[in-house]
Amino acid sequence: MTVNGDRVPSSDRTVLRDMERAFANFINTRKWTNDTYQTHEKINCSLFINISEMPSIGNFQASVQVAAARPIYNSNYESVLLNFADRDWDFEYVESLPLEYNDNTYISNLTSMLAFYAYVILGMDYDSFSPMGGNPYFQKALIVVTNAQQAGRAGWQALGSNRNRYSLIEALNNPQMAEMRKGMYTYHRLAMDNFEKTPDQSRDQVLEVLRSVQKAWRINPNSILVISFFDTKSNELVNIFSEGNIQVRREAYDILSAVDPKRDIYRKIISN
């Protein structure tokens, strides 16, 4: 958890250190799931909160970069599950006051946003270990969004941005995106976890995932789930397909350059 307050007057920055500790404690000490995790099984995640403005004492406007990763079996490598930019954080925070949250009701914008990402991160992690395994957590994140509608705050609404919290959880619960979500299990558990042993088979499996992403893109080219996938995976995909069967690499390149044409890095796949 990092809170960056470079734009906040230096006289007001003591509250940011307290904020950082309080947010981390809220995420790390609250019980978000009934499953038991060993220490080494805990999800590696981070929130980088960039405070852009403090309109008045106790009121903050910020953008947040949310990231989470999971270890790949038999390696020291971690594969990024989520890399999401949320530009609609506005919240109230008073130093030393406890952060209150309840799954069944909206209490504050701050704790609802933190809870939302806790459930999304859990859902992403569970999806990577079993097909659609994240469903219970995405449902809980959807409840957070539904409860927050009453507040009328930015990021929770259906209208406006297609890159906000509402759009993200709507896509994750959309049946049209189910095949893409199932692909996250294929990608991580079947392909990446076995890549060292069977690299060619793993590349074939990742290519199959790209085909499902392309299908989702054809249904909704502006889906935040598709956009977020490439924000998260583009560099890793280049590394995966930088070697191996040239036909597999060419098909991967053709899909990537069609679905995510703004990135030049995919040329590396066929330049070797």
Domain ranges, ordered by start, for the chain: 177-272
CA dist list (Å): 112 to 32, 50, 122, 147, 153: 13, 18, 15, 9, 11
pLDDT score, position 14: 80
Query: Do 209 and 253 meet the contact criterion of CB atoms below 8 Å apart?
Result: no
Non-local (6+) Cβ contacts of 51 within 8 A are 3, 4, 5, 7, 8, 16, 60, 61, 62
pLDDT score, position 58: 87
Query: Do 138 and 172 meet the contact criterion of CB atoms below 8 Å apart?
Result: yes
Per-residue pLDDT of the chain (272 residues; tens, 9 = 90+): 899 988 777 666 788 889 999 999 999 999 999 888 777 778 999 999 999 988 888 899 999 999 999 999 988 999 999 999 999 999 999 988 899 999 999 999 999 999 999 999 999 999 999 999 999 999 999 999 999 998 989 999 887 778 899 999 999 999 999 999 999 999 999 999 999 999 999 999 999 999 999 999 999 999 999 999 999 999 999 999 999 999 999 999 999 999 998 888 999 999 86
pLDDT score, position 11: 60
- What DSSP letter does each residue of 2-46 carry, written as one string? EEE-TTS-GGGTHHHHHHHHHHHHHHHHS---SS---GGGS-EEE
Q: Is the dihedral of CA 77, 78, 79, 85 positive or negative?
A: negative
Dist. CA 248–CA 224, nearest whole Å: 26
Span between the terminal Cα atoms of the chain, in Å: 39
pLDDT score, position 131: 96
E strands, the chain, are: 2-4, 44-56, 59-71, 78-92
Query: Do 244 and 200 meet the contact criterion of CB atoms below 8 Å apart?
Result: yes
